């Protein structure tokens, strides 16, 4: 199970910048806690936060759609795939069926997977706007596991953020952390990971299976 933002694409700061600009353009008031507060929230949750806590006028569904379109405009100009993302997905897809459990809007997930060409490797994709609660609640991972017809204990999640790590662990998945350098996960969240890697090049089938690397790699 892959997360999207911060794992396959270097996007957390894109979302942050688009939301900041959106709040400023509509007379809201950004606070520095907002970035970490909203990380992992579903689209209905963070759009309601922009309205209720940051003073952005409008309906949350409209706010969500506007911000998502701002993010997509950035992606159409340049899709910020992280180093090793394509190879990591291809390596693991050759061994297991893959799922994707993301806090991004459905429109963003579908566009990223189409533009990157990675969509064909995923048997199931779930947006947290399609479940009751966003991360750190386990809902999005539980939905992805169910979509694969799998057992949570036999699945591994690849996550970068504190709320993502908490979500996957709460769902009962084994967790591999690829810490986000822009927004490092809190120590207590990182401690939930079964393995920590510096980058996607280290995400091997042996590591995901819980085995040490063989001699010589």
Question: Is 6:161 a contact under the CB 8 Å cutoff?
Answer: yes
Residue with tokens 């569904």: 61
Q: Which residues contact 103 (CB under 8 A, 6 or more apart)?
A: 4, 5, 39, 40, 41, 42, 43, 127, 128, 134, 135, 140, 164
Question: Is 217:202 a contact under the CB 8 Å cutoff?
Answer: no
Residue among 121, 155, 119, 113 at smallest CA distance from 138: 155
Q: Is-catalytic flag, 139?
A: no
Buried b (16+ CB within 10 A) or exposed e, 117-126: ebeebbebbb
Q: Is-catalytic flag, 5?
A: yes
Integer Cα distance of 46 and 60 in angstroms: 8
> ∠ at Cα 161 (159, 166), nearest 5°?
80
Q: How many helices (H) and strands (E) does the chain have?
A: 10, 5
Catalytic choice (3, 10, 139, 160) = 3
Report, as residue numbers or ranges, the catalytic residues.
3, 5
């Amino acid at each position: 199970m892959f997360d999207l933002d911060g794992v396959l694409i270097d996007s957390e700061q894109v979302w942050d910048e688009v939301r900041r600009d959106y709040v400023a353009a509509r007379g809201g008031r950004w606070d520095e806690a907002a970035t970490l507060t909203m990380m992992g929230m579903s689209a209905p949750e963070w759009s309601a936060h922009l309205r209720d806590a940051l003073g952005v006028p409008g309906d949350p569904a409209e706010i969500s759609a506007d911000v998502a379109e701002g993010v997509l405009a950035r992606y159409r100009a340049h899709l910020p795939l992280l180093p090793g993302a394509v190879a990591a997905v291809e390596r693991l897809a050759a061994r297991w069926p893959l799922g994707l459990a993301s806090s991004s809007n459905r429109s963003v997930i579908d566009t990223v997977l189409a533009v990157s060409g990675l969509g064909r490797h995923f048997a199931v994709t779930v947006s947290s706007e399609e479940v009751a609660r966003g991360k750190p609640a386990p809902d999005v991972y539980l939905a992805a596991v169910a979509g694969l017809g799998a057992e949570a204990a036999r699945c591994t999640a690849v996550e970068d953020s504190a709320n993502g790590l908490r979500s996957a662990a709460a769902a009962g998945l084994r967790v591999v952390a690829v810490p986000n350098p822009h927004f490092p996960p809190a120590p207590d969240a990182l401690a939930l990971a079964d393995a920590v890697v510096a980058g996607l090049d280290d995400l091997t089938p042996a590591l995901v299976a819980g085995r040490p690397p063989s001699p010589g790699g």
